[in-house]
Amino acid sequence: MTDSAQNDAVLLTTDHGAIRILTVHRPDKLNALNLATLDALHRAFDAAAADPAVRVVILTGSGPKAFVAGADIAEMHALTPVEGRDFSLRGQRMMRRIERMPKPVIAMVNGFALGGGLELAMSCHLRIASDTAKVGQPEINLGLIPGFGGTQRLLRLAGRAATLELCLAGAPIDAARALHLGIVNRVVPAAELESHVMAFAEQLANAAPLAMRGILDCIAVGGECGIEEGLEYESAQFGLMFATDDMREGTTAFLERRKPAFNGR
């Protein structure tokens, strides 16, 4: 695939070989999530999942200040209770789509990831942040609670004590503390963020795609079930790998002391 770009009113799509970069593009609103953005993201991840040429997705935000600074407060302000619940469910469905992607999704956290922005980042498989980024769940300051899965994913990533602190106090934390709590995987200097993420994405794009999908599936299932069910699922996925060309190529390449060339079959 050659490098290409496609622009949407609220979302930019750029392909670099097997890597697709999705950029939330509302810089005048610090990339806040409104209904149009939620829907555009859902469509974009559906398209990336269905495109065999795409092996890795990077998600980021426009401009130097924000990944996504939260949900669009102006749009939320007038919602009724029923509309508020529907808005929450819509966001949760989109983020669940990302979480269950069969291809790795890296959040490139280039600035503020607050409220819905942190929820969006946490729905990705991996999070790499600049050293100037700040994350948090400040909804309590608006008389709200996290509505796009923040209480649940933060609990699973950072534990009960940290989740209670971030959600009840509503204050953002810096990238170094987010790394310490396990909310992000890596923190790199802001000037090196894009090159670091692209290099990591290239590494993943060259890995065996069917095995990668099996790993993503096993970890997703294992995080939502008991250990015995998770182990059984892992064994089933492990066995399926023996029916793939990629497994034969990988083991043959190892025995022949060369680099494998995986084709996703």
Q: What dihedral angle (degrees, nearest 10) is formed by the CA atoms of 140, 33, 151, 92?
A: 140
CA 228-231-235 angle, to 5 degrees, is 140
Would you call 119 a catalytic residue per the annotation?
yes
Task: Out of 75, 83, 139, 256, pick the active-site residue.
Answer: 139
Q: Which residues contact 255 (CB under 8 A, 6 or more apart)?
A: none
* H-helix or E-strand spanning residue 253: helix 245-255
Q: Is 139 among the catalytic positions?
A: yes
Catalytic residue among 83, 119, 194, 228: 119
β-bridge mates for residue 6, sequence order? 13
Helix residue spans in 63-182 (DSSP H) = 73-76, 81-99, 116-123, 150-158, 160-169, 175-181
| Residue 184 neighbours by CB under 8 Å, 6+ apart | 109, 121, 127, 128, 129, 133, 135, 175, 178
Report the phi/psi class of residue 113: left, alpha or beta, with left for phi > 0 and alpha for psi in -120 to 50.
Answer: beta
Amino acid at 120: L
Contacts of 16 (CB under 8 A, 6+ apart): 3, 198
Cβ within 8 Å of residue 61, ≥6 positions away: 23, 24, 25, 30, 31, 67, 68, 110, 111, 117
Catalytic residues: 119, 139
